[in-house]
């Protein structure tokens, strides 16, 4: 499990630890880890050219001390002193080791650039000269190693305003920062290497958590010898319409291929015909009027994909929400809830799976605002609506009141295509029916869906049905890896 913390949480832990150590100890630990990471990236240290971008804060001090260590190993290290002040002891050590001050032109001749411009305590857009140096580093041929977080990335949210450093590697000190797990910051961090400086005993509960494959494998339900189709979970799907038949096919497929013991599908004639043709194992109820009578008992419902937003769809949603089992609401179901939030007044669990536009309709926040600060808006919606929120996007986040937000690191940009969200709904619905709570079901479904997308894509375009077909392979990869340990 990858855990991360806000800047305030990190600083509070650092202050507690520094009170127990000789002055400068933490910076020396950080600099040693940073220098080792830079040496590994360079391969050959002796004779290499390293350019440090040094700001006013402790990140600049880390960079200078690390530069001194590299200079002692024979690297030609130059420092661009960009701040209004410079860490005096770090600069002294750097110059004594043979390092030299230089102008911004040193960026162009570097084999490696070290970004020590701003640290975790700075938020908002970069100002000059930092802004120009960040852009110059991004345009350079040499890779950049960021200290703690790439300059321009908000450590507590991943938010980026204006220019930011695009790092090949981020060496983060003490603990991961939230902004390294959430886009757009995560996309700028490159690989992330954690340097242990002793903060562990002083860290509070994490701000966000990223599940690993082993974590998901441990959570996934698995059939036992005495299992039957009912014990393995029965999920009901109310999706699709005469206009959007494919949504029903994809949601049912996602549920079946994610391991549900049985899928009961209820819908009108046209999607019924499509589901029956594609998934003969589904138990189908063709509806002439909006009613769940006769559909049969389920352990969880999926409602909304392709359902439409008229009176028929609204009545079906209301009947599903009147049940006493967990309900996943997606797509058109979310549009209906946005119009009539009282529909969510139920005691049983609800998992909503919006993209930013749908969450905008639910909450009234602007879509751009949501994209810029996904954690804030997912948390706010979960608290305000009293539900679990799975906010889809380049970083999918799962928020539930009074729990750390979970962020998903799997996936591929190729998943941004029609119908993949319907598959995700089916996968999550199957996990709900098999007994996982909304928090775990949403987190595991996002992970599986992203992994299935990678398997289906292999770096090329994919389609939603291909993602559904790859779900068993994703489960097999996780559970097989877990069983071999």
Supply the CATH number for residue 47's domain: 3.40.50.10260
Q: Is 308 left (phi over 0), alpha (psi -120 to 50) or beta?
A: left
Q: Are 63 and 117 in contact (CB under 8 A)?
A: no
Question: 245 in helix, strand or coil?
Answer: helix
- Please tell me the predicted confidence (pLDDT) of residue 483: 42
pLDDT given for residue 123 in this prediction: 82
Average per-residue pLDDT for the chain = 95
317: helix, strand or coil: helix
Give the whole-angstrom CA distance, residue 5 versus residue 12.
11
pTM tops 0.75, yes or no: yes
**Pair 184, 231 in one domain:** no
Specify whether 99 is located in the same domain as 227: no
For 146, 213, 317, the CA distances from 343, given in Å and listed in that order, are: 47, 35, 8
Q: Answer with the one of 182, 209, 236 that is the final residue of a domain.
A: 209
Q: Residue 153 and residue 192: Cα distance in Å, rounded?
A: 14
Q: How many CA atoms lie within 13 A of 77 on its CB side?
A: 33
Rg (CA), the chain: 26
- Residue 283 belongs to domain with CATH number: 3.40.1190.20
Same domain, 87 and 234: no
How many angstroms separate the Cα of 459 from the Cα of each of 352, 415, 416, 454?
Answer: 29, 11, 13, 7
**Structure tokens that stand for 282 in this block:** 């589904």
Residue 206 burial (CB count, 10 A) = 19
Structural tokens at position 360: 């905008």
Strands 208-210 and 2-5: antiparallel
Domain boundary among the residues 174, 209, 244 is at 209
Tokens of 398: 């799962």
Give me the domain span that covers residue 17. Answer: 2-209
CB 164 within 8 A of CB 130: no
For residues 484 and 419, the model is more confident at 419
Give 106-147 pLDDT, tens digit per residue.
999 999 999 999 989 888 899 999 999 999 999 999 999 999
Residue among 119, 206, 212 at smallest CA distance from 171: 119
Which of 170, 192, 209 terminates a domain? The answer is 209
Q: Which of 312, 321, 305 is nearest to 355 (CA)?
A: 305
* Cα 353 from chain centre: 14
pLDDT at 224 over 90: no
Q: Residues 64, 66, 71, 72: what is their CA dihedral angle, to the nearest 10 degrees?
A: 120
Cα(263)–Cα(253) distance, integer angstroms:
9
pLDDT tens-digit series, residues 242-293? 999 999 999 999 999 999 999 999 999 999 999 999 999 999 999 999 999 9
Q: Binding site for AMP, residues?
A: 392-396, 421
Whether residue 181 is found in the same domain as residue 289: no
The answer to whether 182 and 377 are in contact (CB under 8 A) is: no
Work out how many domains the chain is built from and give that number: 2
Question: CA-CA distance, 62 to 120, in Å (whole number)?
Answer: 13
DSSP string, 409-434: ----GGG-STTHHHHHHHHHHHHHHT
In sign, the C-alpha dihedral spanning 454, 355, 328, 285 is: negative
Domain shared by 294 and 180, yes or no: no
Distance (Å, whole) CA 176 – CA 407: 13
Q: Do 47 and 121 share a structural domain?
A: yes
Q: Give the pLDDT confidence score for residue 481 in this predicted structure.
A: 59
How far from each other are the two terminal CA atoms of the chain, in whole angstroms?
16
Residue of higher predicted confidence among 124 and 42:
42
Average pLDDT, integer, range 462-476: 96
Q: Does 296 share its domain with 410?
A: yes
Residue 222 in this model has a pLDDT that exceeds 90: no
Q: Is 216 helix (H, G, I), strand (E, B) or coil?
A: helix
Tell me the pLDDT tens digit for each residue of 84-103: 999 999 999 999 999 999 99
The tokens for 10 are 């990190």
Residue 229: its pLDDT value, please?
A: 78
- Same-domain check for residues 362 and 342: yes
Q: How many CB atoms lie within 10 A of CB 384?
A: 13
Do residue 200 and residue 334 come from a single domain? no
Is there a single domain that holds both residue 321 and residue 200?
no
Judge if 18 and 134 occupy the same domain: yes
The binding site for (6S)-NADPHX comprises 58-62, 119-125, 130, 148, 247, 306, 355, 422
Residues 16, 65 within the same domain: yes
Give me the pLDDT at residue 484, please.
Answer: 38
Q: Which residues are annotated as a binding site?
A: 58-62, 115, 119-125, 130, 148, 151, 247, 306, 355, 392-396, 421-422
Task: Report the run of H or E that residue 449 belongs to, with start and end.
Answer: helix 438-457
Residues 400-455 pLDDT 10s: 999 999 999 898 999 999 999 999 999 999 999 999 999 999 999 999 999 999 99
Q: Report yes or no: 462 and 456 within 8 Å, Cβ to Cβ.
A: yes
Mean pLDDT of 362-381: 94
Binding-site positions for K(+) read 59, 115, 151
**What average pLDDT does the segment 346-353 reach?**
96
């Amino acid at each position: 499990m990858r855990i991360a913390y806000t800047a305030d949480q990190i600083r509070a832990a650092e202050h507690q630890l520094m009170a127990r150590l000789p002055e400068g100890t933490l910076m020396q630990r950080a600099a040693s880890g940073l220098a080792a990471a830079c040496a590994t990236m360079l391969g050959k240290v002796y004779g290499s050219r390293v350019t440090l971008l040094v700001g006013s804060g402790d990140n600049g001090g880390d960079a200078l001390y690390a530069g001194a260590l590299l200079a002692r190993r024979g690297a030609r290290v130059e420092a661009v002193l960009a701040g209004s002040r410079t860490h005096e002891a770090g600069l002294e050590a750097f110059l004594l080791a043979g390092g030299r001050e230089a102008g911004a032109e040193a960026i162009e001749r570097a084999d490696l650039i070290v970004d020590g411009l701003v640290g975790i305590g700075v938020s908002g857009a970069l100002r000059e000269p930092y802004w120009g140096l960040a852009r110059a580093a991004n345009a350079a041929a040499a890779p950049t190693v960021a200290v703690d977080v790439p300059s321009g990335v908000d450590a507590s949210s991943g938010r980026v305003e204006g220019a930011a450093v695009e790092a090949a590697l981020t060496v983060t000190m003490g603990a991961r920062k939230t902004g390294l797990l959430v886009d757009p910051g995560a996309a700028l961090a490159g690989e992330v290497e954690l340097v242990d400086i002793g903060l562990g005993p002083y860290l509070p509960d994490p701000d966000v958590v990223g599940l690993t494959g082993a974590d998901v494998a441990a959570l996934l339900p698995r059939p036992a010898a005495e299992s039957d189709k009912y014990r393995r979970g029965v999920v009901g799907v109310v999706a699709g319409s005469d206009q959007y038949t494919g949504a029903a096919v994809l949601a049912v497929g996602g549920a079946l291929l994610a391991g549900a013991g049985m899928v009961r599908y209820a819908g009108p004639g046209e999607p019924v015909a499509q589901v029956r043709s594609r998934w003969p194992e589904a138990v189908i109820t063709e509806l002439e009027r909006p009613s769940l009578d006769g559909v049969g008992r389920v352990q969880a419902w999926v409602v909304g994909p392709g359902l439409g937003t008229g009176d028929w769809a609204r009545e079906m949603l209301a009947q599903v929400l009147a049940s006493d089992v967990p309900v996943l609401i997606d797509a058109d179901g979310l549009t209906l809830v946005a119009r009539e939030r009282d529909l969510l007044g139920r005691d049983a669990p609800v998992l909503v799976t919006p993209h930013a536009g749908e969450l905008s309709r639910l909450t009234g926040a602007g879509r751009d605002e949501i994209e810029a600060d996904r954690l804030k808006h997912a948390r706010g919606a979960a608290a305000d609506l009293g539900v679990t929120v799975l906010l889809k996007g380049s970083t999918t986040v799962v928020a539930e009141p009074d729990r750390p937000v979970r962020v998903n690191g799997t996936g591929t940009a190729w998943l941004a295509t029609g119908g993949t969200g319907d598959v995700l709904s089916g996968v999550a619905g199957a996990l709900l029916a098999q007994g996982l709570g909304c928090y775990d079901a949403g987190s595991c479904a996002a992970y599986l869906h992203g992994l299935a997308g990678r398997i289906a894509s292999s770096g090329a375009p994919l389609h939603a049905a291909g993602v559904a077909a790859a779900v068993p392979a994703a489960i097999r990869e996780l559970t097989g890896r877990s069983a071999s340990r």
